[in-house]
Structure 1
């Protein structure tokens, strides 16, 4: 077992059976000395000299941070533990990155530490909390100090079991970077250090969230901002010339940088993200943060209802009672405060598990602006209770003029029940390329015209930032997932509900020529839904 890690690496194969030459990383001369005068750039020196327990590099492509980290890790592992030496675990986003990193360490071990380090190819045993194991291909270098550097080809599930210096490279491109970042904090308990290095991968990526939180002082990470331009100013092209044998000149440097930037063509957002460390709104983002925030107002309620898995197995009368209590406690006051003179519409993006199931209610004012009145967000709520909440909201809306509901997949049940209850005021929407092509652009235009008003909330902002051009249509990309304020995954939930609501509002209200019977016992919207206040045939309880 690794000391205190709970993770046991399998012993390597007989060294004699290893390939004669394992990967050495980037092509660098055999006599290349990283500590020679003028080799390390200023930002590389700053990175190495920063001994913070938590530090992160927000960088452009090929700015030499991984190189500097490999040198620092070599120096750390070469020390005896009594002198501050530690084991180092490098976790890249690809196997090739691990091969490159361990190649750097092998070179630096020979040149700087005077050790003829041999790269061992072995299988790392990732012992999970449930007792099972997964084997990860890895490379290792042992130092005479007793410490080692290991480069893993993929992220271990039990990352908390690692102890020492943990380096997460290209963190924004890991499959589950949030889980990685959540786990590594446990390493600090026993004196470990964490280095998070990455270019950006969109504003919604957890790496960008880490950077924002660190800059706001919410986390103790020390942030190093290293865009490509800074690296060039610090001598990056001079180092390229040194390695390739070219002659440096100021003119050649300008031409080289322009050539690299022009290779992105018209994809300026991609170029700015990869080189200038400016996170892209998204690939072909439909809305900017500025546009969305300009259409937000404070004080608009967001009501959340989250239930445990066991709730679906509760007796029916218990589930109904819980739902009734939720509606009366949370929704009744909101419905009672609505303007009875204004038409009201709703859109629902359905989800049963995983994502949120959102109902967005809006009213049109005299200027035809759709103003969100409130949002109901449900997680892990059974079908029947989602139906009852939907009925409660829709039946309680003054001048309820239209609803559009996600009828894709499991949402088809709820959408069908809505049509059965409300007739032609409700629309069953099956998302297709053609539906998005026709209905998404008007919603996006509403933000330019400022005829849409949303709650001022981080989750709503991110949901709308997720709207992007995908093969010519505006939608939330299928593979886009990010964490909300409650720590659960989101998939543009309120944005999709908003598009549905907008669609319903453009079809015009359905008016009926009748005089409603007076409510019994109360003038509050929603009261007449309960059995004690109405006939059993209309009761949802």
Structure 2
């Protein structure tokens, strides 16, 4: 409840039947019964059917009785629906001594007219006109209203899921919460059920009940309980969208070494890598704009997969323009470090980088952080990372805020991203081309680069230490004063030196 009240707009994607609406009925009562100086305001609840609104208002009445000590009457008002004359509108109302009230209203945009307070829009995915509802509710924000939008999912293409994705990608500045069935169970849902039913809680009983619930939901469990929208065909970046962001001429430099290369002397390997850098990388570095910030992302591999370094220039309109992609295959650790450091040492206005720190990638990420400091982040890729990062990559493509190379293999890598159980990721069983080489590495590097573009830049400042002698003279001293002070020596704090430091 505190989290909801600490944000102007909160979006909650939730499991079914875990008691969130009941919790919000407590929130409604505590807000409506408080004085204005204590944050009190009217509360407006909207569900998509009459039974929901009646249940919510009845729960509010029960809570109010516990808190106030006396029962509060629930009023019901019936009005003709101006949009549908054959139908009626039911409004449930509880009034408090504070002067505020809780109203349960129909889920139509016009119900918000002339209203002000806390808005709770329940099971938003099932509302007929969610976009219109949100638009009408946001008008209340002008005078300080707070809005809570919650729902279970109803398909991947439902407007509610689009709202969730907009929150994830940063398009909407709303606070997003995700509460699964497992979250509720871990926080005592089954214990509460036992308490209500008057039965004894046991770990064995909870396990049996949990398995039974999952079995009952069957194929619908992912959407209904695990908060994963259904009906998703798995496509994350359609081919047409990838092609729309491609631009010819963006350099992709590939360097592959045979296994015998790792057995050569250190001097020979370093010389070979240095020659590669000077011949094939330096010209592209020299072509980069010196006054434009640059970021990079990296996905690591040592043998069968690719190590990919993806560099972007951040243009004034925030477009992430790819300026260079480097792909290394079969290159030893030290030469990968040598090549990356060569690039970063010459990268104009190097702002930030993010690197794959899983497995063997931890070495390269660690030494790069040691060399370049907090501008570089070592990232342990996980499902949570995919969930947080991939929406920004998708948004960059959808909003035309990224430019990528027109390259067949990179296109294949980006198409390798699949939505699996509601989370976009590169599958562990990656695609392979005709040569047996896998794909997906460049997609992760691109996602890392987009994430790096959102990092806060390092800020360096210089403040000159004031010179007390110059201040006394109102500016620069004359040569005569300089000579006189030099003759005085260290007694005047300048240690016999002309000028000042």
Normalising to structure 2: TM-score of the pair? 0.46
Higher helix share: 2
What is the TM-score with the length of structure 1 in the denominator? 0.43
